[in-house]
């Protein structure tokens, strides 16, 4: 029994379809037949059709094999390269928690107005 493809939301399906279309256009620009690209990628022509159609059932490895066959493997490095949300979460985790300021005040005997929390953007 064939396994069921993953559930894909419409926005994700559009992304896969656009990727498949870009890969198909790259193949056509190189004047390569689907049989040649499938052979170079080590996949069946049916798998290549699925990739070019943006089928979510095609594995990431199959997409990568097609990219390698087309000489586009370097593009894989740009995927998720700039993780803005992750970096922001990491920066927030590095900021001193509020209870750390209370400990510092207690240890130094400073009053609340004497201690300026770090990372607030106050430039003096």
Interval 88-112: pLDDT, tens: 888 888 876 666 666 656 666 655 5
The single residue listed with the structure tokens 């070019």 is 52
pLDDT above 50 for 124: no
pLDDT above 60 for 122: no
Q: What was the pLDDT predicted at 108?
A: 66
Using one digit for the tens of pLDDT, what is the confidence trace for 57-83? 999 999 999 999 999 999 999 988 888
DSSP class of residue 95? Answer: S
Residue pair 27/70 in contact (Cβ under 8 Å)? The answer is yes
pLDDT higher at 103 or 40: 40
CA distance 69 to 87: 34
Residue pair 66/32 in contact (Cβ under 8 Å)? The answer is no
Q: What was the pLDDT predicted at 17?
A: 97
Residue pair 14/38 in contact (Cβ under 8 Å)? The answer is no
Give me the residue spans of the domains in the chain: 10-78, 84-113
| CATH number assigned to the domain covering 10-78 | 1.10.260.40
The secondary structure element, H or E, covering residue 7 is none
pTM of the model: 0.68
Residue 54's Cβ-side half-sphere holds a number of Cα atoms within 13 Å equal to 15
- Residue 118's pLDDT band, with cuts at 50, 70 and 90, is low
Tell me what the pLDDT averaged over the chain comes to: 84
């Amino acid at each position: 029994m064939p396994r069921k493809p993953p559930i894909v939301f419409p926005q994700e399906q559009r992304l896969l379809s656009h990727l498949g279309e870009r890969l198909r256009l790259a193949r056509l620009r190189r004047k390569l037949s689907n049989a040649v690209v499938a052979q170079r990628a080590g996949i069946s022509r049916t798998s290549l059709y699925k990739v070019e159609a943006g089928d979510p059932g095609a594995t990431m490895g199959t997409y990568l094999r097609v990219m390698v066959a087309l000489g586009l493997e370097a593009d894989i490095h740009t995927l998720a390269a700039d993780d803005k949300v992750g970096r922001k979460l990491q920066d927030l985790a590095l900021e001193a928690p509020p209870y750390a300021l209370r400990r510092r005040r207690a240890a130094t005997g400073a009053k609340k107005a004497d201690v300026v929390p770090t990372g607030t953007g106050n430039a003096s």
